[in-house]
Structure 1
Amino acid sequence: MINTFTSFHLINRDIARSMERVQSQPAVQRETAYYQANIGRVTSIDEFVNDDRLFRYAMKAHGLEDMAYAKAFMVKVLEEGISDPESFANKLTDKRYADFARTYNFAAGGANTTTYNPTQKGTVDKYVSLAIRNGVDPGSEALLKDINYYLQNISQVKSADHLLADDKLLTFAMVAHGFTDEVIDKRALKALLEGGVDDPKSPANQQSDKRFLALATTFNFERYGEDTTTHNATQAPAIDKYLRQTLEEDAGKQNEGVRLALYFQRKASSIRSYYEFLAEPALAKVVRTALGFPEALAQANIDKQVDLIKDRIDLEDFKDPEKLDEFLTRFTNMWELANPSGNQLSSIAALYSQPAEFGISTDVLFTIAQLKR
């Protein structure tokens, strides 16, 4: 049997091809085709959860396949959305639910959730609202002309440079986000749009004027690249998540260490705190294994665990693909020493029934029990 290190690197050295192999599986093709054909027709939470095939696809894409039966619970997640920090999804320790509510954000998007794109309808809605507040007739020829030009051309924009090169599109977008009088240097705008919003140190996040953050959120070229102006979270991104989830599950059937490595690779760049490692048993397992820490360390004081990890890991390293690869090389080698291929035990499966990316968390089980009363 191929060892953990080799198995992981065979998949990882050409992840696109590995994903293509998953996509070519007949079962995956059937489910993906069904999802693509039907998700755009969904206009409500009830329609979504009542289409069991569609709903299960979405749940698996977000690592929540084990929770597909708990529809009342998931309806509550979707109904409250993520805008309110006190919403149901935001209060759950398992952040997969907030991610799910973010993708299928019916609370904010309503009937347009599965077709909505913030650069298109979202920006037009903002532009029209501002025009009406300024006394413009919503049926005026000039306003309709501006809207038609914008909608006919915005989907052709594939980069920040493309947007900045078309003054009519840029003006429309800027006005929609409240920039009605200011003249802003295009070099600064380019840095803003290409910097995105995911990094707390990005130009948009450093601005005290929150209009810049709103603009960068709408035109998030850093996150979505060429798909920014056509992107809808419920469509291509959800399918990509499903394929990645399937890839990891398939790898885990042969070697759980490979699944853990692939999962860590997917999550690593988004980790903002050392405590996040310990919040998810799967991540914690990778860290302890790579650093040679004993399993008994998991029972130690949380703050002491974090101090030990801080001494050995710099979170910034995980944003560097080469350094992340070095870390995962160490993990896969250490995993192989402890779990020789061909003689793997099933104890690692316990990770998938604990409050992490895999399985159902304890606070979720408690909430389900409360809902049944």
Structure 2
Amino acid sequence: MSFQPTIPLPGIAGWRFLERTQAAQQAAFDKGAELKRDIAYFEANIGGVTSAAELVGDRRLLKVALGAFGLEGELDKRAFIRKVLEEGTTEPRAFANRLTEPAYAKLSEAFGFGDPGGARTGESGFAARITDAYRTRAFEAAVGETSNDLRLAMNFRREMVEMSRGPDGANWFSVLGSKPLRQVFEKAYGLPAAFAKIDVDRQREVMRDKTAALFGTDKLTAFQDPAAVEKVINRFLARAQIEAGAAAAGPASAALTLLQNASGEASQGLFNLLAARS
């Protein structure tokens, strides 16, 4: 039986516990037999794969390749993934570049099948880079079986490091294209469900305005500061915990909604208390 990460508490308390114990829990998780078999197989065989067709034709290799980029749910979409890989990323109209989710372009660029330099699978360190990413993502997925909110928080912390290093402001569209990142930002910033339906340029403007109000700049470079990343995560988890508590109230939730509509002071006070650590 594989190791299942322990998350004894919900929300911010659970996040604090996970931060303290993550290294030890990840180490225990990495010893799982299935994970070790997947990684060993990938490292032994990926160097001989020189085309997208070969990769998608081997389900065990494809499982690791997709999992390393958070695309494990696409394992059965082999024709789709082959097109992503074969067209590369150098041309603006390449298939991966036209998809909203940025993970596809990252996958295609990493393997290089459709780019001028060709397959990167035989490069020194390639297999290790992919399997390291696979371990990380697999652990996050295991955390998500207990708390999807904490999985989203872990993904946000990791992804924003990369996003914040891009051209100033340009990568807001990448944020908006990433469903996991969107979920964290939207809840942390208190945006309604209808937000996703408005014009994408307006969405970027709102995200920039909210970020500027909190951090003094509307650019993603704000998240080069780990404290800024942690502040967004705290706000996200606080709101998620408040919403979960309201939902658990059952019939009482209707009365709670009326009270909140009349005066948001109590819930806002709780939110401020929970989000104070940043």
TM over 0.5: yes
Aligned CA distance change for structure 1 residues 262 and 342 (closer, same or farther; 3 Å): farther
Residue 183 of structure 2 corresponds to 285
Q: Distance in 2 between matches of 1:244 and 1:332?
A: 21
2:208 to 299, 304, 310: 310
Deviations 1:243-280 (A, max 9, x none): 12112211111112111111211221333433433333
Q: CA shift at 1:239, angstroms?
A: 0.8
The structure number with the bigger radius of gyration is 1
Aligned CA distance change for structure 1 residues 306 and 40 (closer, same or farther; 3 Å): closer
* 1:9 partnered with 2:35: no
Letter in 2 for 1:292: G
2:244 to 336, 339, 348: 339
Q: Distance in 2 between matches of 1:304 and 1:43?
A: 42
Deviations 1:201-243 (A, max 9, x none): xxxxxxxxxxxxxxxxxxxxxxxxxxxxx432xx111112211
Residue 266 of structure 2 corresponds to none
Task: Pick 1 or 2: higher relative contact order, CA cutoff 8 A, min separation 6.
Answer: 1
1:244 to 119, 131, 136: 136
2:97 to 90, 94, 104: 90
* 1:51 partnered with 2:66: no
Aligned CA distance change for structure 1 residues 256 and 243 (closer, same or farther; 3 Å): same
* 1:22 partnered with 2:19: no
Q: CA shift at 1:18, angstroms?
A: 4.0
Deviations 1:275-303 (A, max 9, x none): 43333333222112212233343344444
Q: Distance in 1 between matches of 2:9 and 2:15?
A: 10
2:172 to 252, 274, 289: 274
Structure 1 residue ranges, 4+ long, deviating more than 6 angstroms after superposition: none
Letter in 1 for 2:155: Y
Deviations 1:175-215 (A, max 9, x none): xxxxxxxxxxxxxxxxxxxxxxxxxxxxxxxxxxxxxxxxx
Aligned CA distance change for structure 1 residues 84 and 114 (closer, same or farther; 3 Å): same
- Native 8 Å contact 2:102 2:174 kept in 1: no
Deviations 1:328-364 (A, max 9, x none): 12221221111249959xxxxxxxxxxxxxxxxxxxx
1:321 to 211, 214, 226: 226
Letter in 1 for 2:149: G
- Native 8 Å contact 2:185 2:232 kept in 1: no
Identity value in percent: 30
Residue 265 of structure 2 corresponds to none
Q: Distance in 1 between matches of 2:172 and 2:93?
A: 24
Q: CA shift at 1:109, angstroms?
A: 4.3
Q: Distance in 2 between matches of 1:13 and 1:69?
A: 36
Q: Distance in 2 between matches of 1:253 and 1:317?
A: 31
* 1:31 partnered with 2:38: yes
Q: CA shift at 1:63, angstroms?
A: 1.8
Q: Distance in 1 between matches of 2:13 and 2:246?
A: 11
Residue 80 of structure 1 corresponds to 87
C-alpha RMSD of the superposition = 2.6
Q: Distance in 2 between matches of 1:245 and 1:343?
A: 30
Residue 264 of structure 1 corresponds to 156
Q: Distance in 2 between matches of 1:244 and 1:334?
A: 26
- Native 8 Å contact 2:101 2:179 kept in 1: no
Q: Distance in 1 between matches of 2:176 and 2:232?
A: 17
Q: CA shift at 1:79, angstroms?
A: 2.0
Instruction: Compute the TM-score of the two structures, normalised by the length of structure 2.
Output: 0.72
Letter in 2 for 1:308: V
Letter in 1 for 2:224: K
- Native 8 Å contact 1:3 1:340 kept in 2: no
Aligned CA distance change for structure 1 residues 274 and 44 (closer, same or farther; 3 Å): closer
Aligned CA distance change for structure 1 residues 273 and 47 (closer, same or farther; 3 Å): closer
Residue 65 of structure 1 corresponds to 72
Q: Distance in 2 between matches of 1:277 and 1:87?
A: 20
Aligned CA distance change for structure 1 residues 337 and 92 (closer, same or farther; 3 Å): same
- Native 8 Å contact 1:56 1:65 kept in 2: yes
Number of corresponding residues: 228
2:192 to 289, 294, 315: 294
Deviations 1:130-178 (A, max 9, x none): xxxxxxxxxxxxxxxxxxxxxxxxxxxxxxxxxxxxxxxxxxxxxxxxx
Aligned CA distance change for structure 1 residues 72 and 273 (closer, same or farther; 3 Å): closer
Q: Distance in 2 between matches of 1:273 and 1:87?
A: 18
Structure 2 counterpart SS, 1:269: helix
Residue 231 of structure 1 corresponds to 125
- Native 8 Å contact 2:188 2:239 kept in 1: yes
Q: CA shift at 1:319, angstroms?
A: 0.9
